[in-house]
Amino acid sequence: MDGNEPENEMAGGEAEKDAAPSFSVPAPSTPSLASLGGGQNPPNGEDRRQAVESGAAAKPRPISRRKLLEAIGAVGIGVGLGFRVLEDPSAASPARQRAAAPRSTKDPLPQWTMIFDLRYCDGCKACTAACQSAHYLPKDTEWIKVYTLTSADGGTYHLPKPCMMCEDPPCQAVCPVGATFRTDEGMVLIDQNVCIGCRTCMAACPYESRYLNTSPMPEVPRQPFPTSPEWPVPQVVDTVGKCIWCAARLPSGMLPECATSCQMGVIYIGDLTTDVAVNGQGNVITISEFLRDNDAVRLKEELGTNPRVYYIPGHGQDLSGWA
Amino acid sequence: MDLTIDRSSQMDRSLRDGARRELREAAVRPMLQKPGPGYRLLVVALGAVVALGLVAFVDQCVKGLSVDDYSNAAFWDVNISNFITIVGVAYGGAVISAVLRLTGAGWRAPLTRIAEGVSVVAVLVGGACIIPSLGRPERIWEFFTRPNFSSPLIWDALAIATYGFASVVFFYLPLIPDLVVAKQTMGDRAGRLRTALWRALSRGWEGSPAQHRLLGRMTGFLAILIIPLAVTVHSVLGWAFAITSFRPWWSEELWAPLFVIAALYSGIALVILSLAALRHTYHLQNYITDRHFKLLGFILAPFGATYLYMSVADFLPGAYHGEPGTAAVFRQLFVGAYAPWFWIFVVGGIIVPLLIIALPQTRRVGWIVFAAALILPTFWLNRVLMVIVPATYDMMNATFGVYSWTWVNASITAGAMAAVPLLILLLFRFVPILSVTEIEQLEAEQLETEQLKAARLEAVQLEIAQLEAVQLDGSEGRVPLGALQEEVR
Amino acid sequence: MSRYFPRGPRSLCYRALELALVVAAPLLAVGLCSSPAAFASSPMIGMTQESSSVTGVTHSASTAATAPSVLTLSVAARPHDPTDLTLVSHLQSSSDNGGKSVAFFVVSTQFKQPEDVPIGTAKTAADGTASVSYKPTWSGKEQFVAKLTSPGAQVPAATAYYRVTASTPGPLYAAANPARPLSFIGHIFLGVVLTIVALIWLGLIIMLVAAVGWMPRLAGGGIGRRDK
């Protein structure tokens, strides 16, 4: 009976505030309900008030039929359509939601990539600070780490290094419990509810991109989103964490924390499918042309990990195969 | 002729009975003797160290890895070295029992129980040693609910579980007849616990030929099976470094065989040490003789030499090429911060024991036991260097981190090391220390062989006598006397 | 509803339910509104042009003081290849139309702000037309922009909309997810190894069971009944 009512009330709505609604109500056992339902009483305001007042429980404030119908109608709409949100368990995970509803049913999934234009990096480490602050990391956990290195001509240059999001990630292959996984968009993420803290992934990563969380962990205020591999805040103690390219932001087109904080516009985030990349300063490039024109390289190419991070050297430094 | 044999066999039988009684009494001596004050003190001391290790482990579980002074620059710790060391020394049992059985070396018989017992204890303690290295040990069940089969650690878990199970079965099967013998020998002195345990474990054993045949076949099959299992276990452990990582020194193809040889070498050393200790404590010199130690030393030496050769083969190409990462790690080992420990290992663990066994003057029980006592700690040191030095190497900026020792990881290490002798001491209060049935079987076979030889000898001597009689007669028979005399000799 | 509220509409449980429904309904509605699945993310909802171009919608309102120069843009697909578009811009100005350089862009909203992604430049021919070809990398209603980049130009940019029906991913996409034809080897090998391990375990269990269960039945004919 209750199931029928909302549908009918949706159709009827407020226009029928005085007409006899068609929901089925048993023969009114009390004069009060009879005035709200059935078509058995005259829709007379005076009579209705009298009937209500003469009801079994004489309450001071009457409730009108209109109000009830409105409430039921709103509930019906809300419940009926709200299930579309509530029943989707991946509502909490932006990456999975994105995968479930791509821009167009014909388009392939985005394949994220990052480009570092080292011509402009001055080693200020704003990226490191912003990342640590956004994810509430301890001081010595630098998910994006800026190295200061000597180039062939004796000068120094700076190299920020996030997680490489390898296409053949050694960390994923060696994790004994499969806590590290790679999504179809190319993001390598960690489920810290599974991680046993064996640090084999730290042994495997040739880029030293992974960090174990040990106590004391920084105090983390209550987060607006539940903890997930795409938004791993707060980090779980005694498990391994790493840069995740702010995976929770990418599906809605927001840039990772490091990219937005870089004042020099060094850090580009892009999509290999659409061939478009932007940096935090509003520059937009076509990835394939940008990489080709600027002789981009990847780190430790010879290891066969196929990283998704490209570097534009620009100072003549040799980025291939050092250390 | 028959009368002579009969009389000698009677004497032999009574001698054999006396010897058999002595053997059985010796086998249950650890259980018969009331434990002396020295024994009690040792057990209490070892138990205290093990308890300290457990307390440290619980502290780590409660407070997390930060009590180990963990730093991301040194991500793997000494627990992994303990794991490799203790699982490695479990190989001694495999070699002594299985390989010597398959090659028909009868002298192994008095050693097998102790060797197999040490092996079982080592596998169990060693397998447990990996738990303190995990950040979230309570999630260890995920190894079974969601294993990732591309990970060498899962291969490790599978291999050690299988090898542990096989070791236990291999220990148990020859034990069945021995428990019946022990019950017979000890009678009521065994006590209720032991009697109940033995009855449960050796139900229905009566020593019938069919039972012996079945047991022999199963043990033989298991001996064949356990050798590839043992090789697999330590190969997989080597691959946990070589495959997992691109790090210098770890990513070497040689590490799987290297680990196997090191395990065999240190396993035999532990068996030598255990034999010496137990022989001295329970006065088993009649059964575990000096000759056994010399033979074990002869087995130890080739493994040591092989390990020396493999170490050179491990270091030489990397040091020659001088790739930046490999060169940095080797520099640390040969001349850098870790150099004293590395050279102590090379000299004390490989060179000195080899010399001890090579020189006839030092090829004596005391020296061989000293060599074994050198090998065990230096090989633990080797495993510590193997785990920690490349782990502290930063692959991006070619610097080294520092591994810090705290009371937690030192206590856990000490506890693990103390658990092995403690469990061995306690084990032989429940099972006979000598594999009586096997010894008697082998002696019976030997006796049979000797009897056959004696019978053959008598037949040949009779023939010679007859031929000599014929010769004295001057008959023309050609006498192959020389050949017969040769045969007599 | 009466049978659920026998004591009438002003009973406590009725009022509580009413309160809950009235409070919950707007919350659900709000939750519903904030679900991105409910709305398309493209800001170009409502543009209904299906097929080819719309010409001459100018960006800015400013015009030159004298006869205004106009830049127009049209987008069309190649006859038999819907993934290949040709963008043609036409410059009409009082001065010379030829030899001016025109930059073409496609507007991407993938990263929140609409960004002009450069897709090529061309010089105008004598009649003022310049064209580039472009393989779109995503589908849907796309906005294309042409700008005159010659110095001193005051010509407003031209915009065209086109609904892309077929796209090809960028040049680096193929290498990003390479095919792995030999991956079956790993599965076969794993199957073989696990089978061997399972057989070993089975063998060990059988031996244990035999030792405990079968062995007693082989008694008899032995050296004599032993003391159990």
Give the minimum alpha-carbon distance from C185 to chain B in angstroms, rounded to a whole number.
12
Give the minimum alpha-carbon distance from A216 to chain C in angstroms, rounded to a whole number.
36
A 10 A CB-CB count for C58 gives 16
Is C201's CB within 8 Å of B162's CB?
A: yes
Distances (CA, A) of B351 to A293, B344, B383: 59, 10, 17
Instruction: Say how far apart CA B241 and CA A277 lie, in whole Å.
Output: 38
Give the minimum alpha-carbon distance from B156 to chain C in angstroms, rounded to a whole number.
12
Considering only CB atoms, which chain A residues are within 8 Å of C36?
A: 97, 101, 252
Nearest-CA neighbor of B382 among B175, B53, B88, B108? B88
Which of C32, C34, C42, C134 should we substitute to test contact with A (largest number of A Cβ atoms within 10 Å)?
C32
If you ran DSSP here, which 8-state letter would residue A15 be given?
A: G
Is C115's CB within 8 Å of A37's CB?
A: no
Q: Does C108 touch chain A (CB under 8 A)?
A: yes
pLDDT of residue A1: 40
The pLDDT tens digits of the residues spanning C167-176 come to 999 999 988 8
The pLDDT tens digits of the residues spanning B191-224 come to 888 899 998 888 888 888 889 999 999 999 999 9
Can you state the angle between helices A65-86 and C12-34, rounded to 10 degrees?
A: 40
Is A78's CB within 8 Å of C28's CB?
A: yes
Distances (CA, A) of B373 to B267, B268, B269: 12, 11, 7
> What does the pLDDT average to over B97-108?
89
Instruction: Say how far apart CA B104 and CA B337 lie, in whole Å.
Output: 48
> What does the pLDDT average to over B307-320?
94
Coil, strand or helix: which one is C71?
Answer: strand
- Asked if the model's pLDDT at residue C39 lies above 80, the reply is no
pLDDT of residue A16: 40
Take residue B403 and report the two structure tokens written for it.
Answer: 């591994």
pLDDT confidence of C95, banded at 50, 70, 90? confident
**Tokens 């920020």 sit at which residue?**
A160
CB A277 within 8 A of CB A115: yes
Q: How many CA atoms lie within 13 A of B460 on its CB side?
A: 16
Which residues, numbered 34 to 53 in chain C, qualify as contacts with chain A under a Cβ-Cβ cut-off of 8 Å? Answer: 35-38, 41-42
Instruction: Say how far apart CA C222 and CA C228 lie, in whole Å.
Output: 14
Is B203's CB within 8 Å of C216's CB?
A: yes
**Tokens 């990563």 sit at which residue?**
A205
A107's CB contacts (< 8 A; 6+ apart) are A273, C138, C139, C140, C167
CB C156 within 8 A of CB C92: no
Give the minimum alpha-carbon distance from A256 to chain C in angstroms, rounded to a whole number.
11
Lowest pLDDT segment from A94-103, B271-280, B296-305, C190-199: A94-103
> What does the pLDDT average to over B150-175?
94
Q: Which residue on chain B is closest to A161 by alpha carbon?
A: B396
pLDDT of residue B482: 67
User: Positive or negative, the Cα torsion across B136, B140, B142, B148?
Assistant: positive
> What does the pLDDT average to over B265-287?
93
pLDDT of residue C37: 41
Per-10-residue mean pLDDT for chain A, 323 residues long?
41 41 42 43 53 51 74 71 48 46 69 95 95 93 92 84 96 96 95 96 95 92 91 94 95 94 96 94 94 93 94 73 47
Which residues, numbered 56 to 95 in chain C, qualify as contacts with chain A under a Cβ-Cβ cut-off of 8 Å? Answer: none
A 10 A CB-CB count for B210 gives 15
Instruction: Report the greatest alpha carbon distance in chain C.
Output: 128
- Asked if the model's pLDDT at residue B483 lies above 90, the reply is no
Q: What is the ipTM of this complex?
A: 0.86
Instruction: Say how far apart CA B289 and CA A215 lie, in whole Å.
Output: 56
Task: Assign 3-class secondary structure to chain B.
Answer: CHHHHHHHHHHHHHHHHHHHHHHHHHHCHHHHCCCCHHHHHHHHHHHHHHHHHHHHHHHHHHHCHHHHCCECCECCCHHHHHHHHHHHCCHHHHHHHHHHHHCCCHHHHHHHHHHHHHHHHHHHHHHHCCHHHCCCHHHCCHHHHCCCCCCHHHHHHHHHHHHHHHHHHHHHCCHHHHHHHHHHHHHHHHCHHHHHHHHHHCCCCCCCHHHHHHHHHHHHHHHHHHHHHHHHHHHHHHHHHHCCCCCCCCCCCCHHHHHHHHHHHHHHHHHHHHHHHHHHHHCCCCCCCHHHHHHHHHHHHHHHHHHHHHHHHHHHHHHHHCCHHHHHHHHHHHCCCCHHHHHHHHHHHHHHHHHHHHCHHHCCHHHHHHHHHHHHHHHHHHHHHHHHHHHCECCCCCCECCCCCCHHHHHHHHHHHHHHHHHHHHHCCCCCCCCHHHHHHHHHHHHHHHHHHHHHHHHHHHHHHHHHHHHHHCCCCCCCHHHHHHHHC
CA angle A192, A196, A197 (to 5 degrees): 90
Give the minimum alpha-carbon distance from C118 to chain A in angstroms, rounded to a whole number.
7
Nearest-by-Cβ selection for A200 from B65, B153, B394: B153
> What does the pLDDT average to over B86-114?
89
Which of A93, A271, A279, A288 should we substitute to test contact with C (largest number of C Cβ atoms within 10 Å)?
A271
Give the minimum alpha-carbon distance from A125 to chain C in angstroms, rounded to a whole number.
24
Q: Does B291 touch chain C (CB under 8 A)?
A: no
Give the minimum alpha-carbon distance from B176 to chain C in angstroms, rounded to a whole number.
8
Q: Does C228 touch chain A (CB under 8 A)?
A: no
Decide the pairing of beta strands A240-242 and A156-161.
unpaired
User: Positive or negative, the Cα torsion across B158, B162, B163, B168?
Assistant: positive
Which residues, numbered 440 to 469 in chain B, qualify as contacts with chain C under a Cβ-Cβ cut-off of 8 Å? Answer: none
Q: Which residues of B touch A (CB under 8 A)?
A: 63-66, 70-72, 75-76, 133-137, 139-140, 142-143, 146-148, 150-154, 157, 240-241, 243-247, 250, 324-325, 391, 394-398
Which of A143, A172, A205, A214 should we substitute to test contact with B (largest number of B Cβ atoms within 10 Å)?
A214
Coil, strand or helix: which one is C27?
Answer: helix
If you ran DSSP here, which 8-state letter would residue C210 be given?
A: I
Distances (CA, A) of A36 to A26, B91, B284: 12, 87, 102
Nearest-CA neighbor of B95 among B254, B272, B247, B314? B272
Give the minimum alpha-carbon distance from C177 to chain B in angstroms, rounded to a whole number.
20
Q: Which residue on chain A is closest to B135 by alpha carbon?
A: A197
> What does the pLDDT average to over C134-157?
87
Residue % of chain C over a pLDDT of 70: 70
Alpha helices in chain A (DSSP H): 4-12, 31-34, 45-53, 65-86, 94-100, 126-135, 170-174, 200-204, 257-261, 287-293
Instruction: Say how far apart CA A32 and CA C197 lie, in whole Å.
Output: 76
In Å, how far from its chain's centre is CA A24?
A: 45
Nearest-by-Cβ selection for B214 from C204, C215, C221: C215
Nearest-CA neighbor of C175 among A245, A159, A301, A259? A301
Q: What is the CA radius of gyration of chain C?
A: 37
B58 versus C11: the higher-pLDDT residue is B58
A 10 A CB-CB count for A40 gives 11
CB C113 within 8 A of CB C70: no
Question: Mind giving me the DSSP string for A25-83?
Answer: -PPPSSHHHHTTSSS-S---HHHHHHHHHTSSS--SS---HHHHHHHHHHHHHHHHHHH
Q: What is the CA radius of gyration of chain A?
A: 30
pLDDT of residue B336: 92
Instruction: Say how far apart CA A176 and CA A200 lie, in whole Å.
Output: 8
pLDDT of residue A71: 75
Predicted TM-score (pTM) of the model is: 0.78
Alpha helices in chain C (DSSP H): 12-34, 173-176, 183-209
pLDDT of residue A98: 46
The pLDDT tens digits of the residues spanning C2-38 come to 455 555 556 677 677 777 776 766 666 665 554 444 4
Lowest pLDDT segment from A172-186, B332-346, B462-476: B462-476
Considering only CB atoms, which chain B residues are within 8 Å of A194?
A: 139, 142, 146
Considering only CB atoms, which chain C residues are within 8 Å of B210?
A: 218, 221
Burial C72-99 (b: 16+ CB within 10 A, else e): bbbbebeeeeebebebbbbbebeeebee
B76's CB contacts (< 8 A; 6+ apart) are A199, A203, B133, B387, B388, B391
Nearest-CA neighbor of B178 among B440, B422, B427? B440
Kindly compute the dihedral angle of the four CA atoms of residues C143, C144, C149, C154, in this order, to the nearest 10 degrees: -60
Q: Does C166 touch chain A (CB under 8 A)?
A: yes
pLDDT confidence of B13, banded at 50, 70, 90? confident
Is C227's CB within 8 Å of B184's CB?
A: yes
User: Positive or negative, the Cα torsion across A220, A222, A225, A227?
Assistant: positive
> What does the pLDDT average to over B133-156?
93
Nearest-CA neighbor of A245 among A91, A94, A90? A94
Instruction: Say how far apart CA B124 and CA B92 lie, in whole Å.
Output: 14
Nearest-by-Cβ selection for C9 from A33, A278, A285: A33
Compute the mean pLDDT over every residue in chain B, rounded to the nearest whole number.
90
Which of C21, C112, C138, C143 should we substitute to test contact with A (largest number of A Cβ atoms within 10 Å)?
C138
pLDDT of residue B3: 47
pLDDT of residue C122: 93
Is B395's CB within 8 Å of A323's CB?
A: yes
Is C176's CB within 8 Å of A286's CB?
A: no
The number of C-beta contacts closer than 8 angstroms across A and C is 176
pLDDT of residue A3: 39
Q: Does A168 touch chain C (CB under 8 A)?
A: no
> What does the pLDDT average to over C146-163?
86
CB A273 within 8 A of CB C138: yes
Q: Which residue on chain C is closest to A87 by alpha carbon?
A: C32
Q: How many CA atoms lie within 13 A of A282 on its CB side?
A: 3
Q: What is the CA radius of gyration of chain B?
A: 27
Q: Which residue on chain A is closest to C15 by alpha carbon?
A: A63
Give the minimum alpha-carbon distance from A299 to chain C in angstroms, rounded to a whole number.
16
Task: Classify residue A159 as exposed, middle or buried by CB count within 10 Å of its CB (0-12, 13-18, 19+).
Answer: buried
Considering only CB atoms, which chain B residues are within 8 Å of A200?
A: 151, 153, 240, 244
